[in-house]
Amino acid sequence: MDADSIIGAIFSFENYGELLVLVQNSIWAGAVLGLLGGLVGTFVMKRDLAFAVHGISELSFAGAAFALLIGADIVFGSLIGSVAAALLLGLMGVRARDKNSIIGVIMPFGLGLGILFLSLYQGRAANKFGLLTGQIVSVDTVQLQVLAGAAVAVIAALVIIWRPLNFASVDPELAEARGVPVRTLALIFMVLLGVSVALSIQVVGALLVLALLITPAAAALRVTSSPVALVVLSVVFAVTATVGGILLALGGRIPISPYVTTLSFLIYVVCRIIGSFRARKGINGRVVHAH
Amino acid sequence: MKPVVSLRGASLQFGKRTLWEDLNLDIKPGEFFAVLGPNGSGKTSFLKVLLGLQELQTGRATLGDRPVERGSSLIGYIPQQKSFAPDTPMRARDLVGLGVDGHRWGLRLGMSRANRRIDELLELVGASDYAKVPVGLLSGGEQQRLRVAQALATDPKVLLCDEPLLSLDLHHQQAVSALINKQCHEQNSAVVFVTHEINPIIDYVDRVLYLAGGRFRVGTPQEVMTTEVLSDLYGSHVEVIHANGRIVVVGLPDATTHHHDIVPVTAGEVA
């Protein structure tokens, strides 16, 4: 394959207008997932759960693969897998070290199970690959409605527990003293995280979940410490990466994942550069009085 | 005056070890009450009882007219200084904001009202200049000022302080304890100040609860901080020296002298 055909496979904008109409659902799905990922991601960063997201996505993948094998609903399978993993982590891993080792233990187990189920599966290969790399291009209206409904439910729950969850995440000792139900909130958040991971996997695949749930919030953290700006930027970054990735991927022949991950990564790099520039200049918001 | 904190026949044990038993105590509004003692003597547990995070084995503890409960708005709590990671997504004003409405459900709606209150509190502790600086970039002393502002957010009747001066330099120790004393006198809040070093607050303390070896003594610093009383509590001879308005305790039993700042006070520091 020469350079031109590689470029042609990655970027092609022939018949773009017609394609755009066809993938309307996918674009909406991307936007919904971006919104969800951007919001949930800020708490993933505040609670230091990046590694946990990875572990949950592997178990979610195993659940989806099992559902595919037995001919059950894939969404349901991945939901069971991820919520079970999330609850397990929430219940067992109280201390950070403990949590990380538990994730390290269940992650390869989940992935191994997933590979086992996929090898036993006799159906279309595209179905298998889709679980890992996503199939956002093939979202139909019903799927979109389910996705949007579930996302709205997760976001509504998140809004209700927003302030105490934030308190418990950034200042747990004091939150406990103020009567915030720190343990309960941790469990509720793990369930919400599990559902978010399962939803994202349907569309962007198990390998891409991190680019949606972690990278945008991590990028936003590099450039702001204001809680409101953090949320806004995180959502904007996530939606930019998903919708932008879908739009770029339309013409090419390769899956959507590389576009989304690359956009997400580039945003992170730019934010990091801005952040370190500010740190070097000592710009941190302190008011300095002239003497 | 009616006491704001009351303990009646209170005792606390962990397994077979008794921290204290049959403790009867009344703390009045505007009283600066210090809780002293070696590590493991139950100072922090004493605070946890008042916070409603630790049950008593026997007896009862009341705040105002009601039994202690978790999350009581009568209480402001100042924890030990503990550094935040540099990338903690929170500015100074957000840390204070947690004290204002961080425990409420939902999103913050009355944005301008909360902001006004946060500005007031920052002004009160002299932290306005670094209101927008990420907490991870602030010094320990600056963080403790914010902790005071955070604790004062609900206009508490009782201010519980758990070693708030630990790891601060002398200048910040004075500044933070002066702030706490100001709240005590101007707002008539009771202050319960857990510390293993009485000297930074010696000018403010009204009464002392000294815990050691499963026993305790309550009284003014002059009554409690004496060679006889402390020797009796520790069960071995302890020398208490009063010099230039400071108190030096010499000869604490080995097991309790670790991390005990009272001991290594040098002659130069006393003078």
Nearest neighbour of B108 by CB, restricted to A163, A176, A288? A163
Confidence at residue A21, expressed as pLDDT on a 0 to 100 scale: 78
C-beta neighbour count of B203 within 10 angstroms: 12
Does the beta carbon of B91 lie under 8 angstroms from any beta carbon of chain A? yes
Whether residue B269 is predicted with pLDDT greater than 60 in this model: the reply is no
Whether residue B6 is predicted with pLDDT greater than 50 in this model: the reply is yes
Whether residue A79 is predicted with pLDDT greater than 60 in this model: the reply is yes
Confidence at residue B152, expressed as pLDDT on a 0 to 100 scale: 94
Query: Are A42 and A53 spatial neighbours (Cβ–Cβ below 8 Å)?
Result: no
Q: Rounded mean pLDDT of B108-125?
A: 93
pLDDT band at residue A242 using 50, 70 and 90 as cut-offs: very high
Q: Rounded mean pLDDT of B180-190?
A: 94
Higher pLDDT, A7 or B133: B133
Whether residue A96 is predicted with pLDDT greater than 80 in this model: the reply is no
Strand pairing of B190-194 and B32-36?
Answer: parallel
Confidence at residue A136, expressed as pLDDT on a 0 to 100 scale: 65
Does the beta carbon of A156 lie under 8 angstroms from any beta carbon of chain B? no
Q: Which residues in chain A have Cβ-Cβ distances shorter than 8 Å to B94? A: 225-227
Confidence at residue B264, expressed as pLDDT on a 0 to 100 scale: 42
CA distances from B114 to A281, B98, B148, B243 (A): 31, 10, 17, 47
Strand pairing of B58-63 and B5-14?
Answer: antiparallel
Size (chain B), residues? 271
DSSP state of B83: P
The verdict on ipTM greater than 0.90 is no
User: In chain B, which residue ranges form alpha helices assigned H by DSSP?
Assistant: 43-51, 92-101, 111-124, 140-152, 170-186, 221-224, 227-234, 254-257, 267-270
Residue A47: closest CA among A158, A200, A201: A158
Whether residue A152 is predicted with pLDDT greater than 90 in this model: the reply is yes
Does the beta carbon of B226 lie under 8 angstroms from any beta carbon of chain A? no
Percent of chain B with pLDDT over 90: 70
Chain-chain contact of A162 with B106 (C-beta, under 8 angstroms): yes
Which segment of A137-146, A168-177, B144-153 scores lowest on mean pLDDT?
A: A137-146
Query: Residue A108, Cα to own-chain centre: how many angstroms?
Result: 19
Report d(CA A250, CA A244) in Å as an integer. Answer: 10
Say what the pTM is.
0.89
Q: Rounded mean pLDDT of B39-60?
A: 92
pLDDT band at residue A187 using 50, 70 and 90 as cut-offs: very high
Whether residue A78 is predicted with pLDDT greater than 80 in this model: the reply is yes
CA distance A118 to chain B (A): 41
CA distances from A112 to A208, B178, B248 (A): 18, 61, 65
pLDDT band at residue B265 using 50, 70 and 90 as cut-offs: very low
CB-defined contacts A:B, below 8 A: 101
Chain-chain contact of B102 with A225 (C-beta, under 8 angstroms): no
Q: Which residues in chain A have Cβ-Cβ distances shorter than 8 Å to B103? A: 163-164, 167, 175, 178-180
Q: Rounded mean pLDDT of B61-86?
A: 90
C-beta neighbour count of B266 within 10 angstroms: 8
Q: Which of A221, A225, A233 to mutate to test the interface with B (most CBs of B within 10 A)?
A: A225
Report d(CA B159, CA B173) in Å as an integer. Answer: 17
Confidence at residue B65, expressed as pLDDT on a 0 to 100 scale: 87
Whether residue A131 is predicted with pLDDT greater than 90 in this model: the reply is no
Higher pLDDT, A184 or B265: A184
Whether residue B20 is predicted with pLDDT greater than 80 in this model: the reply is yes
Q: Rounded mean pLDDT of A193-200?
A: 94
Cβ contacts of B183 within 8 Å, gap of 6 or more: B148, B152, B159, B189, B191
Confidence at residue B266, expressed as pLDDT on a 0 to 100 scale: 40
Q: pLDDT tens-digit profile of A1-59?
A: 677 777 777 777 777 777 777 788 889 999 999 999 999 999 999 998 988 999 999 99
Could you please report the per-residue DSSP string of B185-198?
HHS--EEEEE-S--
Nearest neighbour of B91 by CB, restricted to A171, A180, A226? A226
CA distance B70 to chain A (A): 5
Whether residue A274 is predicted with pLDDT greater than 50 in this model: the reply is yes
User: Number of C-alpha atoms within 13 angstroms, CB side, residue A264?
Assistant: 29
**Per-residue tokens: B195:** 């510390």
Higher pLDDT, A251 or B187: B187
Confidence at residue A174, expressed as pLDDT on a 0 to 100 scale: 93
Where along chain A do its domains lie?
3-290
Whether residue A260 is predicted with pLDDT greater than 50 in this model: the reply is yes
Residue B167: closest CA among B91, B267, B250, B81: B81
Confidence at residue B270, expressed as pLDDT on a 0 to 100 scale: 37
Q: Which of B98, B133, B143 to mutate to test the interface with A (most CBs of A within 10 A)?
A: B98
C-beta neighbour count of B49 within 10 angstroms: 20
Phi, psi dihedrals of residue B191, rounded to the nearest 5°: -115, 125
- What's the alpha-carbon Rg for chain A, to the nearest Å? 20
Q: Which of A171, A222, A278 to mutate to test the interface with B (most CBs of B within 10 A)?
A: A171
Instruction: Please provide the average confidence, as pLDDT, over all residues in chain B.
Output: 89
Confidence at residue A170, expressed as pLDDT on a 0 to 100 scale: 93
Which segment of A245-254, A264-273, B18-27 scores lowest on mean pLDDT?
A: A245-254
**Per-residue tokens: A112:** 């191994």
Chain-chain contact of B103 with A178 (C-beta, under 8 angstroms): yes
Whether residue A285 is predicted with pLDDT greater than 90 in this model: the reply is no
Whether residue A95 is predicted with pLDDT greater than 50 in this model: the reply is yes
Whether residue A156 is predicted with pLDDT greater than 70 in this model: the reply is yes
pLDDT band at residue A93 using 50, 70 and 90 as cut-offs: low
Whether residue B145 is predicted with pLDDT greater than 70 in this model: the reply is yes
Q: Rounded mean pLDDT of A232-257?
A: 89
Say if domain A3-290 classifies as CATH 2.30.31.20. no
